[in-house]
A and B are shown apart, each in its own frame.
Chain A
Amino acid sequence: MPSETAAPSRATEHRLHPLSVGFSLASQLRRAILPLIIGGASANFLGVVEMRFVLLVGLIPLVVGSVVRYLTFRYRYEEAELVIRSGLLFRRERHVPYARIQNLDAVQGVFHRVLGVVEVKLQTGGGQEPEATLTVLPLPALEALRERVREGKREAAGEAAAAGEVTDAATGTGAGEAPTGILAEPAATDLASAATPEGRTLLHLPARELLLHGLLQNRGMVLIAAAFGLAWETGLFERASDWVAGEQSRIGPAVEGVAADVVAAGILVTVVAVAALVVAFVIFARMLSVVWTLVRLHDYRVVRSEEGLRATFGMLTQVAATIPLRRVQTVTIHEGPLQRLAGRVAVGVQTAGGSQAGQPGNADPHRQQLAPILPRERLRDFLREVIPELDAPEVNWEPVSPLAFRRVLRGTCFLATLAAVPLYFALEAWGMAFHAAFLAWAVFYARRYVDWLGWALKDDMVWFRSGWLWRRTTIARYTRIQVVALRASPIDRWRGMASLRVDTAGAAAASHKVDIPYLPLDTARQLRTLLAAEAARTAFRW
């Protein structure tokens, strides 16, 4: 096999866990199964070949690919970098310096846990994809990897001059235990228990808080939508509708009968019935949200250790994600209306590590929300752990231009009128009442929105808040500022305003950015000069 090619390595090379074959096959199957079934079914339909045959032939390359991948995949720890070799025909050798590793995420599904293995993702500053995905490693190897990254970073940072010996010792242990046993240590088959690091627990969410979190956020709707999508894809939807409304169905007519009775009983009863249905649906959605949260974020824990922040969570699929503290670019505080009522906030961090925050389905929603739910009074302590320079989350907010209200008002009134136009056609005179209500709302909204816009400079950071019902506050340290841009649209210039964008690394498309609108021109100009000077004065470190 090609794995026997001479490797010019000073360090011992490690392999993935033998179960990798199974896991990578499973993940490829998940992607390929639908096309295969469709292909098989159509081939069957056309009478070319039998479906079983198509499936079998389709599977062979997947199996071969998985086996080859496992046999050719090697990684080794060099002095300052992790070297990963893979590939049979097209060989690839990746060098990932320890010091450049932004995040080290470990994910463990149910099967992973039973078998005592873990999937590891390494991310560096560049690109959107993880720099390296190790599917799968035995748990002790993960610990060895973490240890190496930790040591490598310390060395690179020049913090420990005498770290050399320690590193050598770590190599010895890491090389010794990694490649072999399946269940090397029975105690460490569980990511959470294996990953309990030395360090202080900053945040632990007990079931009560998770319950509240599930109630406050509207995950249920997303789940229902996803379930609908899945049902549609797999044709379950059609069968279900057949079952309910088909020819032989007895449910459909029964529902129709009840509905007819309700409508016949008068408008009041109809309204009550519809309202009850809506309420039942909302309650159902929230229940789903609660269950989902309890399972997904089970035992949510953020620990501050030497390597940075580590978040661990999950009941079925367990995730352990590490965020080095100095990789934190900006911090965003989220407050929804319900959360405010319950006295809770959420804190998210943006890192430069090819973050896929905003992409659902990835193993890191925590990257958006490091603290999914946090009592307001603990916000200060938590923020200070993430940004040591921060003094207190209370600041004197500076307002935007006094002319901003009228500008926003014009926009919201236009939208309100636009929304009312079809109502005039549909309801005629009643349309006017709706129009008036919309306009009142437009005025109210514009007032609150502009009141809540604000910026501040404090503790060598830019603060920016926006939103009214869903408030977001973003904090960017001067040392994290990349580019400062003043922008003035024609209307801005007409009104003597400008907006200021403070660009940082690692901001995902959907994340809250420091982009201050409606500033008086002079203020914007001075701010830009000041922030540009501050950025120039300090060095940016990844």
Chain B
Amino acid sequence: MNESTHSIGTPETPEAAATAETAEMAGSADPAGLAATAPGGIADGVRRSLDPKVIPLQRTIGGIVTGCVSLPLAAAVAVLWVVAGPPPGVVAGLVGVWSAITVGLGWWLYRWPVLHHRYASYAVHPDGIEIRKGVIWRQAISVARSRVQHTDVSQGPLERKYGLGTLGIYTAGTDHAKVSLDGLEHDTALRIRDHLLPPAGDDAV
């Protein structure tokens, strides 16, 4: 058995906040040391968190969702009350359930964006991008620039209002054929996209 097994003791790329990663994946609180703005180019390997505006954006969406769930429920209860005329105890119970659902869902969708923002980050390296996301199921995804097939930046109506954009990175992979990163400032998303685009003439398929 002639082995040439690699040692994996020393990572080959400089990783900013590598210790913070361990802490984060292990489940401890807020990963510290995230740079706010980039002085030079975007591809400096510094880990950045998402634009904080993503929190109000997702809360807006959460509010809409809550309304879409809550109002039909309220209407159903009202119709039941008027048509069937159940005893007051039942009505009180239904109203209780309705308010529990509304408040619970609303609170959850109000809190969640903060957690989402806390555990999502990205780092653009000269040769690729690294994305972390997930509150309960954590993920850390690395895509090398040489593997990017194409990229796109999309912007929904609400995202446009907040000046945000979603970056989509497409690879030839199977499970991760599309890696997306939402909650970027639109300009930043465009800059990352431009950076990840494979250089022309490199398409030696």
Q: Do A and B bind each other?
A: yes
Decide if B173 is an interface residue (CB 8 Å cutoff). yes
CB interface residues, B 99-147, toward A, < 8 Å: 125, 127-128, 130, 136-147
A352 and B172 within 8 A (CB): yes
Q: Is the C-beta of B176 less than 8 angstroms from some C-beta in chain A?
A: yes
A110 shortest CB reach to chain B, Å = 36
- At the interface, yes or no: A395 with Cβ under 8 Å from chain B? yes
B2→A533 contact, CB < 8 A: no
Given contacts A483-B147, A496-B26, contact A533 B11 (CB under 8 A): yes
> Is B5 engaged at the interface, CB distance under 8 Å to the other chain?
yes
B174 CB → nearest A CB, Å: 4
Complex partner residue of A503 from B3, B21, B174, CB under 8 angstroms: B174
User: Using an 8 Å CB-CB cutoff, how does the interface string of B141-176 with A read, 1 for contact, 0 for none?
Assistant: 111111100000000000000000000000111111
**Which residues from chain A contact B143 at a C-beta distance below 8 Å?**
482-483
Any A CB within 8 A of the CB of B60? no
A498 near B25 (CB under 8 angstroms)? yes
Contact between chains at B25 and A458 (CB < 8 Å): no
Instruction: Tell me, in angstroms, the Cα distance from A533 to B125 when the chains sit together.
Output: 10
A330 to B25, CA, bound (A): 29
B residues in contact with A481, CB < 8 Å: 144, 147
Q: Chain B nearest CB: distance from A458 CB in Å? A: 5
Are A504 and B13 in contact (CB-based, < 8 A)? no
* Distance A485 CA – B175 CA, assembled complex (angstroms): 10
Looking across the interface, which residue of chain B has its beta carbon closest to that of A483? B176
The answer to whether A457 and B140 have CB atoms under 8 Å apart is no
Interface hits, B1-24 → A, CB 8 Å? 1-6, 8-9, 11-13, 15, 18, 21-22
User: Chain B contact residues: over half helix, strand or loop, or mixed?
Assistant: loop
Query: Known contacts being A486-B25, A494-B27, A522-B22, is A542 close to B141, with CB within 8 Å?
Result: no
A193 at the interface (CB under 8 A from B): no
Q: Which A441-485 residues sit within 8 Å CB-CB of chain B?
A: 456-459, 481-485
Please pick, from B26, B145, B205, the residue contacting A542 in the complex, using a CB distance under 8 A: B205
A99 within 8 A of B: yes
B26 touches A529 (CB 8 A): no
Kindly state the interface size class of chain A when it binds its partner: 35 or more
In contact, B27 and A395 (Cβ under 8 angstroms):
no
* Binary contact track A516-542/B, C-beta < 8 Å → 1, others 0: 000001110111111111111111111
- Name the residue among A391, A481, A536, A539 with the largest chain B CB count within 10 angstroms: A536
Given A391-B4, A493-B25, A498-B25, are A485 and B204 also a contact pair (CB < 8 Å)?
no
Is B179 interfacial (CB 8 A cutoff)? yes
A171 CB → nearest B CB, Å: 23
Residues of chain A within 8 A (CB-CB) of B5 are 395-396, 456-458
Closest to B136 in A: A490
For B202, what are the chain A residues with a Cβ–Cβ distance below 8 Å?
539
Known A392-B1, A395-B5, A536-B127; judge A486-B171 contact (CB<8 A): no
Q: Contact at B172–A533, with CB atoms within 8 Å? A: no
Q: Would A541 and B204 be within 8 Å (CB), given that A457-B8, A529-B12 are in contact?
A: yes
Selected from B2, B125, B147, the residue in CB contact (under 8 A) with A392 is B2
A145→B136 CA distance, assembly (Å)? 54
The complex places the Cα of A437 from the Cα of B175 at a distance, in Å, of: 38
Q: Which residues of B contact A525 (CB under 8 A)?
A: 18, 21-22, 25
Q: Which of A458, A513, A537 contacts B3 (CB 8 A)?
A: A458
Closest Cβ of chain B to A31, distance in Å, is: 29
B residues near A100, Cβ cutoff 8 Å: 205
Q: Contact: A503 with B176, CB < 8 Å?
A: yes
Q: How far is the CA of A493 from the CA of B15 in the complex (A)?
A: 21
Any chain B CB within 8 A of the CB of A487?
Answer: yes
Q: Is A212 an interface residue (CB 8 A)?
A: no
Nearest-CB distance from B70 to chain A (Å)?
Answer: 29
- Taken together as a complex, chains A and B put the C-alpha atoms of A457 and B9 apart, in Å, by 13
Judge whether A247 is part of the interface by a CB distance below 8 angstroms.
no
CB of B9 within 8 A of CB of A532, answer: no
User: Which of B137, B145, B171, B205 interacts with A482 by CB under 8 Å?
Assistant: B171
Is there an interface contact between A521 and B22, defined as CB atoms closer than 8 Å? yes
Nearest residue (CB) in A for B174 is A507
New contact pairs (6) apart from A483-B176, A493-B138, CB-CB < 8 Å: A459-B4, A481-B147, A488-B138, A501-B175, A525-B22, A533-B11
Could you pull out 7 A-B pairs where Cβ atoms are within 8 angstroms?
A395-B1, A483-B175, A485-B141, A486-B139, A487-B140, A529-B11, A537-B127
**9 tightest CB-CB pairs across the interface, nearest first?**
A482-B173, A532-B142, A503-B173, A536-B144, A536-B127, A529-B11, A483-B176, A505-B172, A486-B140
